Amino acid sequence: MNNPFFSIVIPVYNGLTHDLPRCLDSIWQQPFDTSLYEVICVDDCSTDGTQAWLDTQTTCHHNMRVFKNDVNIRQGGGRNRGIREARGKYIVLIDQDDYYHQGAITKVYNHLCQSELDVLIVDCAYERPGRPSNTLQHNFPHRETMTGDEIILKNSIPYAPWKFIFLRSLIIDNNLFFDENERIEDIDWVHRLVHRAERAQYQPILFIHYLKSDISTTMTSFKSPVTTYSMMRCGRRLFLLPTKDFADSCDELKRAMENLGENVFRLGLRNLLTCKDSMSNKRKAIGEIIAPHSKRATALTKIAVAMPITFSIVSNITATFLPWFIILRRKWKYRN
């Protein structure tokens, strides 16, 4: 096929048990010319029969390509490979357990044909299982075309990478790839992406329905040690952006990145009190992740660095009961 307008990239892992068929159906059912887009699925060593199922799908859809990783490199790695293999002018991302709103791709296509943007930011609706919704999550006030830095300061930007439609060349030319083998790989990435855009814009287009299930990374991060450590590393990366990608930016933007990094780091640090892990792993995290950040120390950081053994013991004790409070609070929040 000729080079399409969109390349839709889907990182896949055990997709048959995580709603991949529904995700793909939401693409095939779009009232949109199939010659204008391709679908790239990158299978990350699935174990549930997804690889064979994907092969059958390529026989039904001429604009679908499947790639299979030899080792598991998580979502960031899957997206990286999909972007490298893509032929489209613009990249569109989606996770396997989400789905597109009907007609949304056509709306985005029409808008990009008129606007010629580097990055278009769209919106989503959060859903709980069995509770569909069309309510926009963000609905930002500023919708004019701006530089990436302006849009970060005026609107702030969402963290999920599938809310961004962006030029593939923006990634390739600036080497803006995701960190691989990380769980929280997207918060710093979206800021680096938008920062590079000369023409960026938010539009209140309901693009994706995001299912917040009880097993998603977002909903279980408070009790996952792997996610907790990844979140603190992400906070460190964000905090260092002013001396790297944002070195030539204004002071206001640099402070915004530092503050965001602090908030993400503190959330990860707080999650150490709700997740169980071995004493050696927790002490290692304190030495390798928390200690280098101790100059910007909160009280919790100081305690962890000063008394790593005691902190590890206490955190594993609190992890036996604090998650229950979080779960009960969420049940109350989503009771309707």
Q: Give CA separation, 92 vs 25, 179, 224, 298, 299, in Å.
A: 16, 18, 29, 39, 42
**Minimal CA–CA distance to 126: which of 211, 231, 43?**
211
Closest to 185 (Cα-Cα) out of 43, 73, 94: 73
Low-confidence ranges of the chain (pLDDT < 50): none
Q: So what's the pLDDT on residue 56?
A: 95
| Rounded Cα distance, 305 and 239, in Å | 19
Q: Are 13 and 46 in contact (CB under 8 A)?
A: yes
- Helix ranges (H only) for the chain are 20-28, 50-60, 74-85, 104-115, 148-155, 168-174, 187-195, 217-220, 225-240, 251-271, 279-285, 299-306, 308-318, 322-333
- pLDDT at 308 (0 to 100): 94
Closest CA to 190 of 176, 202, 201, 204: 176
pTM of the predicted protein model: 0.92
pLDDT at residue 159 in the model: 93
Indicate the fold that domain 6-213 takes in CATH. Answer: Spore Coat Polysaccharide Biosynthesis Protein SpsA; Chain A (3.90.550)
